[in-house]
Structure 1
Amino acid sequence: MSRRYPVALATLAAALACVANVSAQSYEAGEQEPALRLPTDPRLWHNSPPLTLESLKGKGVVFYLFEEESPRIAANWPNLQGLSKQYEGKPVLFVAVSSGTDPRVLKRYLGQYRVGWPVIHDYDRSLERAMAVPQLNPGGDEFAFRYVAGDGSMGQGKGADVAGTAEAALKGAAWRVDPAEVPEKLKGAWRAVELGSFTAAARPLTQAAESKDDELKAGAEKLLAAVEEELTSAAKEAQESLNEGDDWHAYKLLESIPQRFDGYEFDLIERAEDKTKELAKSDTVKGQIAAAKMLGKAMATASRGPSGVNRAKGLLNRLVEEHPDTEAAVKAQELLASIGS
């Protein structure tokens, strides 16, 4: 189609983006522990910062994949957004996905039809494929619903039944903190906590915790307790990895803690930093870090365009040779295989 985004999937740059953003595996309804990953690049999100299924754990998520060239789809946005408003007080999020679209066209489209949902720009259709959705096109299949339920199960939507799909997504879903218990002044911080954006909530919560307003202080304390519970869960997962001898996984979990919980003064954060430094001295973690840096360099090189692709391929081959037993080597092999190298 004339308005489609021209993506050169044969290039290494496209392959890198595909592997980095989503694990292209189909799924059946009820499957647990989904391999699905949402893009982390902010440029691929509209109306929202990047969200992850990890940050949305325990919430229901309804994905609406749509064909933006369809007049029927365009005319139905007011109805869809009206239906979603009926679920504003419930732990379910609606996310739209536009596949294969020119980014400039998509931006104009979202403004023209006043789409307020978070929207993912699935430029190479990798998310569409990962959700086992046949390629959408005008006159054919123009939309599809998929969902991730609060209990972690995944499934196909119920046709055009938005309410039915939302109810399926709500299975096992719950808020960390009941919004009815949160003062209006802290609703922004509450939303950040519920979406896993803990750093964004740090300042308003720490300030409110010192407030002389009893209601505001009580609300802040409940939200801080929810944040600390999430921190404790992350630290516990890291400890389990250590107990199993998986130092690299533990390192990654612990390294992310200071970033995820920046702005808080919980003791666990400092302990995580200390343990991260200790693990970084082990040979296993050193090798993984070195390999990850090489992979990052290859990605940066490939992003420079066709001239950088061959150099990036050389870096990936070198990575596989020098660090064959690393996580980055596995990704490098996937990338090389995807481009026939």
Structure 2
Amino acid sequence: MYLLVALILAGASSLVAAGGKYGEEAPEFPPGVFNDGRQYRLEDFRGKTVVLFFYEKDCPRCRGSIPDRNKVVQAYKDKPVKFIAIGAGDTLAEAKSYAGQTGLAMPVFSDSFSLMEKRYGQTISLNNIWQFRVVGPDGKVAGYKMELNEEYLEKAVAASTWKYKDQGYDAKLNPAIDLLEWGQYEQGVTKLRPFLKNANAEVAASAQKLFEALKTEGQQWMDEAAKAESENPIGAYDLYARTAATFAGDPLGEKAKGSLKAISAKQPVQDELAARKMYEGFVGAMAQSNPTNKTKLIELGKKIVQKYPSTPVANKVNTVLSEIGA
């Protein structure tokens, strides 16, 4: 049930208030891109710790601190914690450049409109060169520091758990397991598949055991989707789509494809899918825009809202338009 709720919340929120204080729910990432080409959501990391590092790219002191930041990342590399940097006010090109020049050992979110920092109630500048937020396994802010042996970070990590890593699977499966742990199911299963036919019988057996566990989880997605079809067809669609993509070519994936085709005939789903196609252009424009160059972005956003006003995508776009002062 939790995954379905997460999908609903990710798409349906239309208002975002500044937050990020201790004990509060950690605000989600706004639409945007990361320097590694992947997409991350705090909702996908429930049960684990996330450390957010907001930085000022033009500050020499901040750049000089990166080796120390990387030491913390390295120290926790085998723990259920994810480190993500936020390039406050940075375009994607600037975020990539900063990571490349400094060797920053974590993905970087291009926060070109400074929406992420505003959602956390702060302004990064040469007078406020960095900030941190430790997000605990319950999704709430649990601390403000990123340091070795820091009390609140240690507490959050101690309360976090791996889903698959500590289950005794063969070490050769770790690249696939790493992807799975951080919500990258489709990529994780793709990485796992070759091991199902590994020449080493023990490795193949371990891979099969993991695959069976994943199929059990996939069946749970299917069950949640079936229950949600009448009241939340869009959420059901997303669960079916996730199952079909993760288990492509398998009986479970084929079953999901059939359900996906049927639910795609519903008008709310059709509208949402059409809105998502337009939204891809909106996110792309966002990566190329900034506070002084946002005319095209605003035009695209308003078109989505006008054409598909009742969709979750329209709600997300409305939020962004409000945040950038459109």
TM over 0.5: yes
CA distances 1:165-190 after superposition (whole Å, capped 9, x unpaired): 43243254211223583434322112
Cα distance in 1 for residues equivalent to 2:72 and 2:141 = 21
Give the number of the structure whose alpha-carbon radius of gyration is greater. Answer: 1
Is 2:312 the counterpart of 1:327?
Answer: yes
Which residue of structure 2 aligns with residue 250 of structure 1? Answer: 236
Which residue of structure 2 aligns with residue 211 of structure 1? Answer: 198
Which residue identity lines up with residue 239 of structure 2 in the other structure? L
Cα distance in 1 for residues equivalent to 2:149 and 2:129 = 15
Residues 60, 93 of structure 1: 8 Å contact kept: yes
Which residue of structure 1 aligns with residue 48 of structure 2? Answer: 59
Match for 1:157 among 127, 138, 144? 144
Cα distance in 2 for residues equivalent to 1:254 and 1:165 = 38
Is 2:123 the counterpart of 1:135?
Answer: yes
- Structure 1 pair 230–97 and aligned structure 2 pair: CA distance change class (3 A): farther
- Structure 1 pair 253–75 and aligned structure 2 pair: CA distance change class (3 A): same
Residues 175, 191 of structure 2: 8 Å contact kept: no
Which residue of structure 1 aligns with residue 28 of structure 2? Answer: 36
Cα distance in 2 for residues equivalent to 1:239 and 1:298 = 31
| Alpha-carbon shift at residue 71 of structure 1 (Å) | 2.5
Cα distance in 2 for residues equivalent to 1:310 and 1:112 = 32
- Structure 1 pair 38–217 and aligned structure 2 pair: CA distance change class (3 A): farther
Cα distance in 2 for residues equivalent to 1:136 and 1:105 = 16
Which residue of structure 2 aligns with residue 45 of structure 1? Answer: 35
Mapping for residues 134-283 of structure 1, pairs under 5 Å? 134-138=122-126, 140-158=127-145, 163-170=150-157, 172-178=159-165, 181-242=168-229, 245-259=231-245, 261-263=246-248, 265=250, 267-283=251-267
Cα distance in 1 for residues equivalent to 2:139 and 2:72 = 23
- Structure 1 pair 80–338 and aligned structure 2 pair: CA distance change class (3 A): closer
Identity %: 23
Cα distance in 2 for residues equivalent to 1:55 and 1:325 = 25
Which residue identity lines up with residue 123 of structure 2 in the other structure? Q
CA distances 1:193-226 after superposition (whole Å, capped 9, x unpaired): 2122222233442232233423312431343244
Which residue of structure 2 aligns with residue 123 of structure 1? Answer: 112
- Structure 1 pair 239–335 and aligned structure 2 pair: CA distance change class (3 A): same
- Structure 1 pair 76–339 and aligned structure 2 pair: CA distance change class (3 A): closer
Q: List gaps (5 residues or longer) in structure 1.
A: 1-18
Residues 22, 142 of structure 2: 8 Å contact kept: yes
- Match of 1:144, SS? strand
Which has the bigger relative contact order, CA under 8 A and spacing at least 6? Answer: 2
